[in-house]
Amino acid sequence: MMIMTVTNEIKKSFLASVWFMFLTFPIMVLKVNTVSNTVEWRWMNMVGVGVGAFFLSMLWRYLLVKKEMGGKKEKTDKPGLVQTVLGERRFAVPALATIGIFTLVFPHIFSMYQTNIMISALIYVMLGLGLNIVVGLAGLLDLGYVAFFAVGAYSYALLNLHYGLTFWIALPLGGLLAGCFGLILGYPVLRLRGDYLAIVTLGFGEIIRLVLENWNEFSYGPSGIANIPKPPLFGLDLSLNQKTIYLFYILVCLVIFTIFVINRLQDSRIGRAWIALKDDEIACQAMGIDKAKTKLRAFALGATWAGMGGVIFAAKTTFINPASFTIWESVIILCTVVLGGMGSILGVISGALLLILLPEYLRNFGEFRMITFGTVLVLMMVFRPGGIIENVRRTYTFKR
């Protein structure tokens, strides 16, 4: 039986390699020389494609079989390696101390370019943690999350332009305004779920972008708003490098604050209501939980963090226009949550760092960068559907 299974897998891999050679034949084998009007036949390329496709197909099938064999084993809700290390005090304290020291010295040992990349990654960590409330905890698929990001950015830009408000005043105001927009979006979609909710939120995000792009008197249209000031430090005249370092430390503090608040929310009565809503709306309502209020809280709190992230984004780039807030930004933020691990704070952080830092560091590979990026996404979806750091569901046992 085992021999027959192996033989079938070899046959399937062989057919896959033949089919792949047929598809790539015009590109890999034929080469037309327009100068001498001759055709060059590169048969060794086809052999290489066939052999490579065969072995990759065999490796893929082996990993799938191994995954199925592992899935048949008894599943337990045991924490993974990362949760175990951080859960024990003797490991958690040195690990957190190491991360803290590295974070403090990061802008001083790396270039300003590297610091700017890390600032962008930390902004997406904030956005991912905010969306994790809506998608990971409450189970509400929001594809218009970038709209709240835009509200926060334009709040700071316009308030500073017309009223001269500083970064520190605009930061909470941007979060508050985005939270209000979250309530405005959440109220009409209380009865929607799944794909219908995704379509409506997607439309809301596009409406906000089109309004910003066409309302020239209000948002200055496609021209955008320039000369947005960076955060001030007691009126000191800082250089560009010092302003970047200062913004990095501000963002680190905000990320720590975000992690603390969302962790507390997750363990609170509201967080348990979100999780219950995600698992079963009917059972959640039957247990006496107000479904409407629970959803509105999720939309409002998630949008608040997006608004604060938008304020920081505007301060970092010092220029914003509607082109910075397209649907693809929502997709990237959603990918950080899904690939990192829905409901897992550590997973969202790792997913955001991976998705933002990986494309930047693969710029030297040019055309192969997106291929590598896509391959990582496919492998994650097949072999780690729960995310990089899967959320561990808490279980309660009663001992007699």
Strand partners, 30: 41
Same domain, 231 and 160: yes
14 vs 309 pLDDT, higher one:
309
CB-based contact 389:341 (threshold 8 Å): yes
Same domain, 217 and 349: yes
- For residue 204, give the nearest of 187, 221, 222, 224 by alpha carbon: 187
Same domain, 202 and 58: no
Q: Which two tokens stand for residue 357?
A: 């830092």
In percent, how much of the chain has pLDDT > 90?
19
Same domain, 166 and 47: no
Q: Is residue 80 part of a domain?
A: no
pLDDT tens for residues 330-387?
888 888 888 888 888 888 888 888 888 877 776 766 566 667 667 777 777 777 777 7
Q: Is residue 97 part of a domain?
A: no
Same domain, 188 and 39: no
Tokens 């909470």, located at residue: 172
154: burial class by Cβ within 10 Å (0-12, 13-18, 19+)? buried
- For residue 355, give the nearest of 342, 368, 374 by alpha carbon: 374
Kindly compute the dihedral angle of the four CA atoms of residues 88, 91, 94, 98, in this order, to the nearest 10 degrees.
Answer: -110
The pTM score is 0.79
- For residue 140, give the nearest of 22, 6, 302 by alpha carbon: 302
Same domain, 67 and 114: no
Range in 32-41, 329-338, 385-394 with the lowest mean pLDDT: 385-394
pLDDT of residue 106: 87
Tokens 């603390």, located at residue: 260
pLDDT of residue 83: 53
Q: Is residue 76 part of a domain?
A: no
Q: Is residue 392 part of a domain?
A: no
Range of the domain at 45: 2-71
**Residue 167's CB: how many other CB atoms inside 10 A?**
20
Distance of CA 8 to the CA centre of its chain: 39
Query: Which amino acid belongs to residue 350?
Result: S
pLDDT tens for residues 191-244?
777 778 888 888 888 898 899 999 888 888 888 898 898 888 877 778 888 888
In percent, how much of the chain has pLDDT > 70?
86
pLDDT of residue 309: 92
How many structural domains comprise the chain?
Answer: 2
The widest CA-to-CA distance across the chain, in whole angstroms, is 89
DSSP assignment of 167-213, as one string? HHHHHHHHHHHHHHHHHHHHTTTTT--HHHHHHHHHHHHHHHHHHHH
d(CA 61, CA 67): 10
Q: Is residue 306 part of a domain?
A: yes
d(CA 219, CA 226): 11
* Sign of the dihedral defined by the CA atoms of residues 34, 35, 38, 41, in that order: negative
CATH number for 301:
1.10.3470
Q: Is residue 198 part of a domain?
A: yes
pLDDT tens for residues 151-176?
999 999 999 988 888 899 999 999 99
pLDDT, averaged across the chain: 82
